[in-house]
Amino acid sequence: MAWRFRIRWLWKSLCNRFKEGANFLAINLANDIITGKKDVKSARDFYATSIKEMINGGKPEYMQKLVFNVANGNTADADAPSSIITEDDMMKAKKMNEMMKKEMMEKDMGMKK
């Protein structure tokens, strides 16, 4: 019985590390594509190579941290709200959203019966 818990713990630990590393890898590659350092095909190949390296015990740099500089300060959204969508439209959208949630909950309750 104890071996099952150890295997489950090991698997969960590996999955968590893999997810975080894969997230770093994806963000780093997206930055490379946006900045023109890589095209989509080379980024896809780099992704596969990095995952394979990690599976075989390696620690690819792109899976450890962000490899580009992240801005510090003055990062507020400079966009302005649209004048096309009014406050009344927003209230209608909110009511529609609430109705959809209610319908989904009622549907879920009906399936559980």
Please indicate, yes or no, whether the overall pTM of this predicted structure exceeds 0.75. Answer: no
pLDDT of residue 39: 95
pLDDT of residue 71: 81
- Give Cβ neighbours of residue 61 (< 8 Å, ≥ 6 apart): 67
DSSP string, 60-99: -GGGTS--S----S---------SSS-HHHHHHHHHHHHH
pLDDT of residue 1: 45
Q: Are 60 and 50 in contact (CB under 8 A)?
A: yes
Per-residue pLDDT for the chain (113 aa), expressed as one digit of tens each? Answer: 454 555 555 555 555 667 889 899 999 999 999 999 999 999 999 999 999 998 899 999 999 999 999 888 877 777 887 889 999 999 999 999 999 999 888 887 776 55
Nearest-angstrom CA–CA distance, 29 and 7: 32
pLDDT of residue 36: 96
